[in-house]
Chains A and B, each alone.
Chain A
Amino acid sequence: MNIWKSSKSGILMTAFSLLILIQAIMMEDQTIIDPSSGSFFPALISICMFAAGVFTIFQERLSWRSSSQNNSAEGDDADDLNTNSETTKTSNAFTKKDYTLILLYFGMVIVFVLLLPVISFFPAAFLFLITSMFYLRGISLVLNITISILTIIVIYFLFSELFNIVFP
């Protein structure tokens, strides 16, 4: 019925644990029933995870029902059954604008990482620092560039000179 709506995370959890269980069963040269084999322990863990998932489904379902019946059903049990109130809380806290800002920034980090092997470390890091500080606003351009250069120099000394780490 409305199971998916009421307990998304619970269902995802059970699905994920089943996936692990299947992987554990399919492992080569291992037997699940033998505690000394490599797949026994992962299988056990996945069963625990499965149980946790099922439990969450019921819990979420319960809280979904009670909240749909009675919206002010909080109080003492709020700690245990607060999944639903959480979602409302987060939707209050994270607006679409926040998400775009955050995901765009994460995109910038990814571009930086992808650029690393192409244009080598220092130019990539420099570009990233400048653009991301510019993107986040509130910092004058002069300060921006000074800080970027300083950071790069410090990182160079630390990682490259002192620790002999070879950058891509």
Chain B
Amino acid sequence: MKLKKFGYTLCVLTPLLLTACGGGDSSGSDNTSGEEDYSNYPEQDINGVIQWGEGGATDNISRTVAPLVEDELGGSLVMENREGASGATGAQYVYDQPADGYTLLFGAENPNLYQVLGISERDYLSDFKPVSIIGQSYAGIVVSADSEYDSLEDLINYSSENPGELTMGTSGEGGLPHVASSMLQAELDTEFNQVPYNGDGPLATALLGGEIDATVLAVSAAQEYVESGDFKMLAVINDESLDAVPEAPPITEPYPEFEKYLPWGPFQGVFAHKDTPEPIMDKLTTSFEAAQEDEEFQETLDNLGVEPMNIHGEEAIEFLEQNQSTSTWMLHDTGETEVSPEEFDIPRVEEEE
């Protein structure tokens, strides 16, 4: 009886709630005759797994692109966050699902490092296929506005004189702050007390509350707080300043020795299980490619301080290889990893340019 009433009310509401989606899933189910026939894909909702928490850079980008892809694909893309263990929880989950293109991983750069850090066996290149690399961004070293450190040199000097005294918020092993601080440690002999949080959002909160002394955030995540005067960005990890945060100097200005690590930064991409059938991959890549051409989306990326890439296929794989090689060898060279990247057949990329 209760349910009957539920039903009536909701039947009345259904058209209202569905106006925008146009009911793309009303047909289907009948024409599932041949198993090899993928032309009807997607016949059900696609589950988009975001490997970082709500409110972070990966989350924002993923949720912005999702509706655009829905338009291209003609099906629904249901997004969910599975955070934890540097994003390995989400990556593992997607890997465990059937390779039918109905579960996609919206990830950041982290899985490139899982193997060398022993976080997880999963790896972009060996376990997933890139659907699209959406964009690349840059990282910046930030402190709270009332921090006594006004320049990167201040922070570095204090940290190398008082090892372990400054608290650096990280997003877990293999996250941006972790790799960046090992970079600093290798070159400048700093030592931070690293405390892991669940992604950019909680890190920003902790920095606002003065719980941590410094952290490394994607420029996209930090920029709003820098503009509002809550954070100071001491340096961007790049060889020139960025339009998004013009006042932050490039890290190579005080420390030219970082040149060899660059370009390095976070990226966001969409991945599918490696066994996903080709026709589905094709459909996905074309849909994601078309979706990203949307002007508004380009603007959003721009707002977020992300440099649009929109690459897929071989090009994306090359990009991943390069990024993985840089980060893993850097971690190895600074003594952060016990195993050498060589064990996982990651070649050392010769310094380009």
Contact = CB atoms under 8 A, between A and B. Distances in A.
Q: Would A and B touch once assembled, by the CB under 8 A criterion?
A: yes
Interface of A: 150-151, 153-155, 157-158, 161-162, 164, 166
Contacts of A153: 7
A158 B45 contact: no
A157 B7 contact: yes
14 contacts: A150-B7, A151-B3, A157-B7, A157-B10, A157-B14, A158-B6, A158-B10, A161-B18, A162-B14, A162-B17, A162-B18, A164-B44, A166-B44, A166-B45
Contacts of A154: 3-4, 6-7, 10
B148 to A, nearest CB: 27
A63 to B, nearest CB: 43
A158 B6 CA distance: 9
A150 B4 contact: yes
Contacts of A161: 14, 18
A155 B11 CA distance: 11
B25 interface: yes
A29 to B, nearest CB: 9
A166 B44 CA distance: 7
A162 B11 CA distance: 9
Q: Which A-B residue pairs are the 8 nearest by beta carbons?
A: A154-B7, A166-B44, A164-B45, A154-B3, A164-B76, A151-B3, A150-B4, A158-B10
A1 B321 CA distance: 68
Contacts of A164: 25, 44-45, 76, 78
Contacts of B7: 150, 153-154, 157-158
Contacts of A150: 3-4, 7
Interface in B194-216: none
A120 B3 CA distance: 22
Contacts, number: 31
A166 B10 CA distance: 19
Nearest to A156: B7
Nearest to A154: B7
Given A164-B25, A164-B76, A166-B44, A157 B11 contact: yes
A161 B25 CA distance: 8
Given A154-B6, A155-B3, A157-B10, 8 more contacts: A150-B3, A157-B7, A157-B11, A157-B14, A158-B7, A158-B10, A162-B18, A166-B44
Nearest to A151: B3
Nearest to A153: B7
Contacts of B11: 157
Interface in B12-64: 14, 17-18, 25, 44-45
Nearest to A160: B25
Nearest to A36: B195
B27 to A, nearest CB: 13
Nearest to B3: A154
A155 B6 CA distance: 10
Contacts of B25: 164
Contacts of A162: 10, 14, 17-18
A161 B3 CA distance: 16
A162 B76 CA distance: 12
Interface centre among A151, A157, A161 (most CB of B within 10 A): A161
Contacts of B3: 150-151, 154-155
Contacts of B18: 161-162
Nearest to B6: A154
A157 B12 CA distance: 11
A150 B7 CA distance: 9
A162 B17 CA distance: 8
A158 B8 CA distance: 11
